[in-house]
């Protein structure tokens, strides 16, 4: 073999060796642990989008059969300030003030960073969702808000479904995304970082993780478990949440996380009572947008509250009334929308009528007391005066004495809806221990966290919280994963 042949052989061997090494390292990279996200509601989906954008693989674990969590059922909308869709009169400072006022006595200066993050990133949350193709062009004012800032689509499905389905479709088209349903997470290990989950088909599966994001939701449906432990006084009330035992909080506590505000449970004032199954314990939410657009509440033919006060205030006013005889902890309250409110909330109204939860009727066919209350309210709207003071009348157009007008009515009752308590996080969505230290590689977003909403969450801030802190959690989980892989 001459020198030239020898040199060619060495060069060829080197090239083959380099290709083999590249193939090997590429294979190793492909089996690097993923960012594991527990929960497939909007917080988890937002985190997954950001982690994938940062170049990390994502494995999402959902304990239900179908993804979407409670987020997919959200019907009122998502808050944002300032946005191109809003009428004038709102501001970041006003939104912060409303959030703090709603949080009540639980608000402290130490929580200000969470409020600032939520509000200051609300406009970018709306912009991000809009850029993905979600219509959020219609804006309404909900209870507890000083201005119109809750966004939803001008047509089509309710906002929760529209947002969640859009993100799910984009994630399912991504090569780096894996979704496991019917996957109940049973253990979390910090060293090395991993989760164990159980499925009907595969049994117990141990999954190494580059980082973990808890986005598993709240515990308002965990009647015999956490709800009974922290709020036994709410026993027997219907709920908008599926009845299920929660174990995410215990896993977080086992990892050293601090929990806060666990006794702060929001009772939503309006869950529909289905006339076909009035005592069904799981209720369909009557969106706050129905009252925001002009709907009123009546008990025995009279109004009894400013319908646009906070959820806490309206729920308390209803719960001071006598319960419906023979129905346990259920109340008999009528929700009534005039033609203007029905038109403004058309997509919601059409859906509820289809479900049999609202019905259309003429004013002349109403009970005498109800008709008198409607006429009295209409006269007040015409004179820009309300018995409860300071109320926005929304899109109410009905005039007193118009017996031919068509209204929509349904029965509602308070329901356990949302839990404000959960794991303590910082503004970077890092889960903290009792000393304020970070729990390495563990992040959380959405209803599983606590400290932001205090006594009461504003309508429209649940989806917002999921997007804002979900995106933050996803970005920081990806960074943490990258640091572990270097």
Residue 16 burial (10 A CB sphere; 0-12, 13-18, 19+)? exposed
Dihedral, CA of residue 273, residue 274, residue 277 and residue 278, to nearest 10: 20
Strand order in the sheet with 259-260: 259-260, 422-424, 449-450
β-sheet bridge partners, residue 459: none
Residue 259 has pLDDT above 60, yes or no: yes
Mean pLDDT of 154-167: 94
Least confident of 68-82, 90-104, 472-486: 472-486
Mean pLDDT of 409-435: 97
CATH number assigned to the domain covering 267-415: 3.90.700.10
**Rounded mean pLDDT of the chain?**
92
Mean pLDDT of 144-148: 95
Statement: 35-264+420-484 belongs to CATH 2.40.30.10: no
pLDDT given at position 451: 97
Q: Could you tell me the residue ranges of all domains in the chain? A: 35-264+420-484, 267-415
CA distances 308 to 124, 203, 312, 344, Å, are 27, 49, 11, 16
Q: What is the Cα–Cα distance from 189 to 76, expressed in whole angstroms?
A: 38
Whether the bond into 304 is cis, omega within 30 of 0: no
pLDDT given at position 2: 56
% residues pLDDT > 70 (the chain): 93
Q: What is the Cα–Cα distance from 460 to 463, expressed in whole angstroms?
A: 6
Residue 483: which pLDDT band, with cuts at 50, 70 and 90? confident
pLDDT given at position 90: 97
β-sheet bridge partners, residue 409: 336, 359
Mean pLDDT of 446-459: 96
Pair type for strands 406-419 and 359-362: antiparallel
Catalytic residue among 57, 59, 231, 268: 268
Residue 184 has pLDDT above 50, yes or no: yes
DSSP symbol at 325:
T
pLDDT given at position 19: 44
Residue 149 has pLDDT above 80, yes or no: yes
pLDDT digit string, tens, across residues 423-438 = 999 999 999 999 999 9
The answer to whether the CB of 412 falls within 8 A of the CB of 305 is no
pLDDT digit string, tens, across residues 27-65 = 434 578 999 999 999 999 999 999 999 999 999 999 999
Q: Does 229 qualify as catalytic in the annotation?
A: no
Full DSSP string of 424-484: EB-TT-EEEBTTS-EEEEEEE-GGGEESSSTT-PPTTHHHHHHHHHHHHHHHHHHHHHHHH
pLDDT given at position 131: 98
Residue 418 has pLDDT above 50, yes or no: yes
Q: What is the Cα–Cα distance from 251 to 401, expressed in whole angstroms?
A: 60
pLDDT digit string, tens, across residues 231-255 = 999 988 999 988 877 789 999 999 9
**Residue labelled with tokens 């019907």:** 75
pLDDT given at position 7: 46
Q: Does 291 qualify as catalytic in the annotation?
A: yes
pLDDT digit string, tens, across residues 343-397 = 999 999 999 999 999 999 999 999 999 999 999 999 999 999 998 887 889 899 9
Catalytic residue among 291, 303, 411, 417: 291
CA distances 280 to 84, 129, 233, 239, 386, Å, are 41, 35, 20, 10, 35
């Amino acid at each position: 073999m001459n020198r030239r042949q020898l040199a060619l052989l060495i060069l060829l061997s080197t090239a083959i060796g380099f290709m083999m090494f590249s193939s090997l390292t590429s294979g190793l990279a492909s089996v690097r642990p993923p960012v594991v996200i527990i929960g497939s509601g909007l917080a988890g989906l937002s985190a997954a989008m950001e982690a994938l954008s940062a170049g990390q693989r994502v494995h999402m674990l959902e304990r239900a059969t179908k993804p979407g969590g409670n987020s997919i059922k959200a019907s009122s909308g998502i808050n944002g300030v300032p946005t191109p869709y809003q009428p004038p009169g709102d501001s970041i400072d006003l939104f912060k003030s409303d959030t703090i006022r709603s949080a009540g006595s639980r608000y402290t200066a130490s929580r200000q960073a969470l409020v600032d993050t939520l509000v200051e990133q609300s406009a970018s949350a709306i912009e991000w969702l809009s850029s993905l193709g979600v219509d959020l062009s219609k804006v309404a004012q909900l209870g507890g808000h000083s201005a119109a800032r809750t966004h939803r689509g001008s047509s089509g499905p309710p906002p929760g479904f529209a947002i969640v389905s859009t993100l799910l479709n984009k994630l399912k088209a991504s090569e780096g995304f894996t979704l496991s349903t019917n996957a109940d997470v049973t253990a979390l290990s910090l060293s090395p970082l991993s989760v164990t989950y159980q499925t009907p088909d595969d049994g117990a599966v141990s999954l190494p993780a580059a980082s973990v994001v808890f986005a598993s939701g709240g515990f308002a449906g965990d009647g015999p478990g956490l709800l009974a432990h922290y709020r036994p006084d709410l026993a027997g009330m219907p709920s908008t949440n599926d009845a299920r035992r929660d174990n995410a909080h215990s896993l977080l506590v086992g990892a050293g996380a601090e929990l806060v505000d666990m006794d702060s449970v929001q009772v939503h004032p309006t869950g529909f009572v289905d006339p076909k199954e009035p005592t069904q314990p799981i209720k369909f939410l009557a969106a706050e947008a129905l009252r925001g657009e002009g709907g009123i509440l009546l008990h025995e033919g009279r109004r009894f509250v400013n319908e646009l006060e906070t959820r806490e205030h309206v729920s308390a006013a209803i719960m001071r009334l006598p319960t419906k005889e023979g129905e346990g902890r259920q109340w008999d309250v009528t929700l009534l929308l005039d033609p203007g409110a029905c038109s403004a909330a058309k997509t919601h109204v059409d859906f509820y009528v289809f479900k049999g939860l609202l019905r259309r009727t003429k004013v002349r066919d109403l009970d005498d007391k109800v008709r008198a209350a409607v006429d009295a309210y209409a006269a007040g709207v015409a004179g820009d005066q309300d018995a409860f003071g300071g109320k926005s009348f929304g899109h109410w157009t009905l005039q007193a004495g118009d017996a031919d007008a068509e209204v929509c009515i349904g029965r509602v009752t308070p329901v356990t809806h949302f839990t404000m308590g959960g794991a303590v996080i910082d503004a970077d969505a890092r889960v903290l221990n009792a000393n304020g230290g970070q729990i390495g590689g563990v992040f959380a977003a959405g209803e599983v966290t606590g400290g932001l909403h205090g006594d009461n969450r504003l309508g429209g801030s649940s989806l917002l919280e999921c997007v804002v802190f979900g995106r933050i959690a996803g970005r920081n989980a990806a960074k943490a994963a990258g640091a572990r892989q270097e």
